[in-house]
Amino acid sequence: MPQDTKLHKEAYKGVMGGVQEALRDDGIAVDAPGAGGRTALQRACGVGHHTIVTFLLGAGASPSAVDLAGRTALHWAAVANSETCISAVLDAEGAPRVDAATKSGNTALHMAADAGHLEAVTLLLSRGADATLRNSEGQTAGDGAKLNGHAQVAAALGAGGGGGGCIIL
């Protein structure tokens, strides 16, 4: 099982100098897998370090790389409720589809809704996310929001039904 490298740790902490040094001096590949198969880009997205995300994308990091659970940088940015990272990933060359699903069928919209992140949910919907998609448990993003007590997010997703409810933006 891979361990996090200096690149992963510095990206997670948001230390630009450390990220640059790891790539330049330590020769660590920009998409090297770390713990859980996560890339440095995914680690930075997961904590909303937009400057690091932008730098890594410019250095050739793949926005579509998946970790061991099938999550992309977009999934991690959604969990962090980082609108700037979500946009950076979706606007990058080689971006994942907005509805790319994990091994368990969760899209970035599912993950943002489960966490109660209305801003991320709203942005993902505006970028074309499909609120009617169901994960491997048969749940829509709205269902997950409802189950986790996020009424405002569930309402934005059509009261949690996902199948025919209106989407309020």
pLDDT tens for 115-139 read 999 999 999 999 999 999 999 999 9
Q: Per residue in 29-58, pLDDT tens?
A: 999 999 999 999 999 999 999 999 999 999
Domains of the chain in start order, with CATH, are: 6-96 (1.25.40.20)
Q: What is the pLDDT of residue 36?
A: 97
> How far is residue 84's CA from residue 111's CA, in Å, rounded to a whole number?
17
Model confidence at 102: pLDDT above 50: yes
- Return d(Cα 102, Cα 100) in angstroms, integer: 7
Report residue 159's pLDDT band, with 50, 70 and 90 as the boundaries. low
Q: Assign 168 a pLDDT band (cuts: 50, 70, 90).
A: very low
Ordered DSSP codes for 34-67: -GGG--HHHHHHTTT-HHHHHHHHHTT--TT---
Torsion of CA 47, 49, 55, 61, to 10 degrees: 10
